[in-house]
Chain A
Amino acid sequence: MADPVKDAERIPTVIADELHIVYRVNGAKSGKGSATAALSRILKRGEERGVRKVHAVRGVSFVAYRGEAIGLIGSNGSGKSTLLRAIAGLLPAEKGKVYTDGQPSLLGVNAALMNDLTGERNVILGGLAMGMSREQIKERYQEIVDFSGINEKGDFITLPMRTYSSGMAARLRFSIAAAKDHDVLMIDEALATGDRKFQKRSEERIRELRKEAGTVFLVSHNNKSIRDTCNRVLWLERGELRMDGPTDEVLKEYEKFTGK
């Protein structure tokens, strides 16, 4: 390991033990989509009535330690985001277990925000959804608005979010999400939002968050940002852990694999 921390001091923060995640998809069973076919599936006894299973993560085990920044790589659909959600305790495991120190959190509040509300109310709603108190939000409100730069072009924060350009909305979402400190922080390709100026600002904020957080997970297809941020890399392929080790070693193999 490139990790300078001595073995004796290594404190585990996340342990995944033979983790399996299965999605169940209604109404995607191959075969006829007609009403009679659906009815006969319902009438047929057994577990599989009209449900198709997608086995997204297959038996992944690893131990993450305090102070590590771990990159997750792999081709599209290899189970990276699913693994993150399982670590955060948001997706129930089919088999196996994830043990964590405290509550890991995903960086992102998109789902809690509402386009019909003003930016102002979304800052408050998003903060509350992430578990901040009203006082904390009040304290950081100005910081969030300034960071997003929404008000640089006029008083946009009091307008509904649906009136924002997609770049502005993305900036506000990132600013809200990045306002909270986390023990175990997970970032899912959140780096590439907004214009160049904002990207720089957000990369800086992520570095700050990393310093405060105990352990960081980063999902990205950008090998450069993995190399800049992470000291350890997990390579997932078809839901299985293909390689786990120091960044340089794994990335070398990965680049060979993808033919770069």
Chain B
Amino acid sequence: MSAPPSPDEGLTAAQLAAKHGLTVSGARPSLFEYVRQLWDRRHFILAFSRAKLTAQYSQAKLGQLWQVATPLLNAAVYFFIFGMLLGAREGIPSDIYVPFLVTGVFVFTFTQSSVLAGVRAISGNLGLVRALHFPRASLPLSFALQQLQQLLYSMIVLVVIMMAFGSFPDLSWLLVLPALTLQFVFNSGLALIFARMGSKTPDLAQLMPFLLRTWMYASGVMFSIPAMLADKNWPGWITDVLQWNPAAIYMDLVRFAMIDGYDSSFLPAHVWAFALGWAVLAGGVGFVYFWKAEERYGRG
């Protein structure tokens, strides 16, 4: 060994580093600093989400038309099975069942695909994590943002369906904005939580579709929770608790905003408070939970 001689001879590595102002490579920044770094990367987050969205259908002949066609086909399948074959429409006036169902499918898909993308956000992009430096939360946030843009395409379909079934744009439609904003914060929080869990346990990618499907059936995507429970002699608070489930809350809010005839009698008590509470809870917990492991992502 021919270690070069140095005037700093005799100092330990840590002392030498401190003397010359060197810092530990890949250490986790403070929470405040982390937010600042993320803000600096906002253009990357947006560009990455849009690139993913475009790349999705770039080989298809119809191209970006699939952004709209996919949600439409999805809604058609659910309508065929639940609306026509199973007749899940009890309790809902039949003239609003189609918009009711389609809204539910689109809004739930928004959360569902954010969670699924979140699980693979780190574990599916290890190459990127191991090659470049950026706050790792950029990835799950970028995927959540991709789903938000996907939802905006779905909203085009939704507006057409609404008008076809007699609900026309009015002032109450503006309520969609706060509802979807809160849902986006909620989804981002979930994506962050599952990104950390998925980075440690990639097996979650296999498990989550089942959990999410269970969640979907329990959330009243294709039926009305209060109408379903009306003929059972259960205490009223059970209905409330089921309706306070975040997926049900955001679906009901969008339905309430857009569908004429879906009035506040379908909504649980304190609906906006719960919408806000879920968003703040998931967003806050998710962000801190993800940041806590920042320096460990990329370990193979």
Contact residues of A with B, CB < 8 Å?
Answer: 1, 3, 7-8, 10-18, 23-26, 61-63, 85-93, 97-101, 103-106, 108-112, 114-117, 121, 124-125, 128-131, 133-134, 160, 243-246, 249
Contacts and interface: CB of A to CB of B under 8 A. Distances in A.
Nearest to B4: A1
A114 B51 contact: yes
B299 A24 contact: yes
B24 A98 contact: yes
A11 B26 contact: no
Given A88-B25, A116-B58, A8 B7 contact: yes
Interface stretch (B90-98, B123-131, B167-175, B189-197): B123-131
A109 B132 CA distance: 7
A103 B14 contact: no
B128 A112 contact: yes
A114 B6 CA distance: 46
A109 B131 contact: yes
Interface of B: 1-8, 12-14, 16-17, 20-27, 40-41, 43-44, 47-48, 51-52, 54-55, 58-59, 125, 127-134, 202, 295-296, 298-300
Contacts of B125: 111
A17 B51 contact: no
A124 B132 contact: no
B13 A91 contact: no
Contacts of A115: 55
Given A14-B22, A23-B299, 11 more contacts: A12-B17, A89-B27, A90-B26, A99-B16, A110-B127, A114-B51, A114-B55, A117-B51, A121-B54, A129-B48, A243-B1
A92 B298 contact: yes
B219 to A, nearest CB: 31
B20 A23 contact: no
A98 to B, nearest CB: 4
Can you list the 10 inter-chain pairs with the closest CB atoms, starting with the nearest?
A89-B26, A17-B13, A99-B17, A89-B25, A111-B127, A116-B55, A99-B22, A128-B44, A245-B2, A116-B58
Residues of A contacting B: mostly? mixed
Contacts of B296: 92
A112 B131 CA distance: 9
Contacts of A97: 13-14, 24
Contacts of B20: 11-12, 101
Contacts of B134: 129, 131
Nearest to A115: B55
A24 B199 CA distance: 12
A108 B128 CA distance: 10
A115 B59 CA distance: 11
A111 B127 CA distance: 6
Interface centre among B12, B24, B40, B134 (most CB of A within 10 A): B24
A21 to B, nearest CB: 9
A67 to B, nearest CB: 13
Contacts of B59: 116
A10 B6 contact: yes
A98 B26 contact: yes
Nearest to B1: A244
B22 A124 contact: no
Nearest to A121: B51
B25 A100 contact: yes
Contact of B132 (A14, A15, A106): A106
B16 A12 contact: yes
Contacts of A24: 299-300
Contacts of A114: 51-52, 55
Contacts of A3: 4
Contacts of B41: 128, 131
A131 B13 contact: no
A17 B26 CA distance: 14
B22 A106 contact: no
A175 to B, nearest CB: 16
Contact of B55 (A25, A62, A117, A134): A117
B55 A124 contact: no
Nearest to A241: B1
A244 B13 contact: no
Nearest to A16: B13
Contacts of A131: 40-41, 44, 133-134
Contact of A99 (B13, B43, B58, B299): B13
Contacts of A15: 13, 16-17, 22
Nearest to B297: A92
A91 B52 CA distance: 25
A114 B52 CA distance: 8
